[in-house]
Each structure stands twice: as C-alpha cells, then as structure tokens.
Amino acid sequence: MTTSRKDAARRIGLLTGGGDCPGLNAVIRAVTKDALGNGIEVVGIEDGFLGLIENRTRTLDAASVSNILHQGGTVLGSSNKANPAKFAVGMNDDGTPKLADMTDVCMKHIEELGLDALIVVGGDGTMTTAAPYCDRGVNCIGVPKTIDNDLWGSDLTFGFLTATQTATDALDRVRTTAASHHRAMVVEVMGRNAGWIALQAGVASGADIILVPEIEFDLDKIAETILHRREHGKKFSVICCSEGARPVGGKQFIERIDLTSPDPIRLGGVGKMVAGEVEKRTAIESRYVVLGHVQRGGTPTAADRVLATRFGHAAMELLRKGERNRLVVMQDYKLTHIGIQEAADKQRLIEPATDPLVAAARCIGTSFGD
C-alpha cells in the first residue's frame, strides 16, 4: 500500500462520461475496491456529468461493485449529452436548444458532497468537459475510455479491444456470405474521425479493402481492386469501412445532427454509398452492413478487463501520491500519466505514412482505396 499524504483525498466522486463501452464496470470495481481498502469513501455519480448537474449520487461499497467485472456497460449509467458548460434546458423559438452554463451548479454539488477529488472515466469529450473543473480547483483524475481509441496521449484505451473483436467477428461472418454469393460486402464500423477499429479489425479479418478517415478513397480504384480480384479467381470482396471515411475531395457522411449533444455530428451512410457505387461500377452484386452500437455492448474481453483494472488502480495511486489533474495513459506498453488538460479538445488519429500496421497491410496486398 502506498503511504498516504496529509493532503490526500479521503472522499472521492466517480463518474463514467460519454458513450458506454465494455470495461467501464471493471474500472468502477477497481477504483472502489482500491479506495475502500485504503480508507477512502467513494461516491458514485449517476449518468456522468448529468448526475453532477442534478445531484444524483449513491455511495459505492464492496457489495455494490461485487460481480460486475464481466458486465458490459456501466452500473452508474452515462450520458453523452451532458456538458455542464452548454447544457440544454429547453428550446428556443427557432427550434434550437436553449443552452445554460451549469458549471456553478456542479461546483456547488461537489462542495455539498464534500468531494476531495473526481475520478472521471471517459474519452476526449469527457476530458474536455472536466478541464474547466481543474481550472477551478477540483482535482480530476482521468481514466481513458473509448472504443474509438482516439484519446490523445494514450496508445490504448479500454473498450477498444472488445469493439475490435466484435467487428472482426462480424467481418468473419460476412466473408462466408460474400463467398457463397460472389458478392462485394461492405461492413461499416464505428470510429468517428479515427480509423483504428477499421484498421485493426480489417487486418485481423483479412479484409480486402480498408477505408479509414485518415486516407481519402477513390471509388474507381476500389472498383479496380475488386475487378482485379475477380479476374484472378476471387469472386468476392470484403470491405471494412470506418464511419468517418470519405472520398477524395469529399466530405464525411452525416446521418444526423443532435444539437443537444456536445458532439452534435452523428456519422453514418458511407457504407451504403460505397456498396452502391461498387455495384454500379463493377456490376457485382453488393451489400452493406452497419454494425453501429453492437460494437459498444456485450461482455468485455479478458484483455479489456485487465487493462481497465490496471487503469483504475493507477488512478488511485495518483491520488494517494497527491498528484493533481492527471490522466492515466498507456505509452510504449507502460502505464504513465499526463496532464488531463493536455488531452482536451484533441484526437489521436492514424498517421498513414508512418503507421506500421498500415505499412504491413499494404505489403500483404490490402487496399486502402487510394
């Protein structure tokens, strides 16, 4: 056990912000059990920052975190619409949301709850939301969560490995249908502006073409690749397509816009477009599948359970050492930490020219549509 400092936290708040993902409960369990074992009280804040706005909390004890390690989602609930700085409190006459700054309300609740620190579990949006509280004297310790793996400063976030495995399983299953019917099959996966899921699931499943946001694709070259495969006896093709992928000179495909959310853009539709254009250009029957939130759900893999547990323990170690406003990260396969504000308003993206997996995929004949 690490020796506690005089100014170390004795009562902490714990929230899970943004979208849900496998491994969140493993973090909740690790933080709570570690804290209780070191004489620290844990207040669970419900539904992310929304619970902080509405002052909805519950005490976490050993019983409340028992038998949750293997469960997907989060027992505390979450919200990807609750940015206290721009919180929707109604609608304006023109149909746009009426926004209010609830930061002072949250600060009041933090004081009333007697919290010495906040453990905030989330991605870039959650860290961006937490940054103003750091500026106002609240000690926030971040734990990196996102299936997109796009949190700046960390080579890996929990939830990503499970989402990638889910996408890989789907691509494997689609391959048999594509082969049986001699079709081109497009599988659209999540990732927002980052192509990590598409890249790793595409390579793992042996996808013939991988489309990621960081590499603009040419529809004619995609068609050429598929026709070339057919000429050489490959009567089917599988395309793994990130939701944020876009054609050369084009824009990302937006499914809808939610103005009540801190991240209002909801991507989607590129998979359908690619399948339609492939069929038009090649006369090969094409289909598309959108995995969507299937990638967020379900039981976390063993690797994600272990990673989430390590992250949770590392967060508590930082608190016991008296560190302030730090984000636990993994760099070069080792756990370390950076300033939580360093990760705010940034995204970790693939660098196509230097990424070793992109290079490996190209060398084994995988096309990126360019």
Active-site annotation, residues: 148
Q: How far apart are CA 121 and CA 258, in angstroms?
A: 23
Pick the closest to residue 121 from 79, 162, 60, 163 (CA basis): 79
Burial zone of 17 (CB within 10 Å; 0-12 exposed, 13-18 middle, 19+ buried): buried
Write the DSSP symbol of residue 86: G
Q: Is 320 left (phi over 0), alpha (psi -120 to 50) or beta?
A: alpha
Say how many CA atoms lie within 13 Å of 5 toward its Cβ: 12
Q: Which residues pair with 119 in a beta bridge?
A: 14, 141
Residue 299 C-beta-side C-alpha neighbours within 13 Å: 5
3-state SS assignment for residue 218: coil
* Alpha-helical runs (H) found in 143-182: 160-181
Alpha-carbon separation of residue 117 from 42, 72, 336 (angstroms)? 10, 26, 19
Distance of alpha carbon 15 from alpha carbon 17, whole angstroms = 6
Measured between alpha carbons, how far apart are the two ends of the chain, in Å? Answer: 53
- Give the Cα separation of 21 and 131 in Å (integer): 22
Question: Cα Rg for the chain, rounded, in angstroms?
Answer: 22
Q: Six-digit token pair at 124? A: 């870039």
What 3 state SS string does 277-334 have? HHHHHHCCCEEEEECHHHHCCCCCCHHHHHHHHHHHHHHHHHHHCCCCCEEEEEECCE
Angle at 186 between CA 184 and CA 189, to 5 degrees: 165
Q: What is the DSSP string of 198-212?
A: HHHHHHHHT-SEEE-
Q: Are 121 and 143 in contact (CB under 8 A)?
A: yes
Residues in the chain: 370
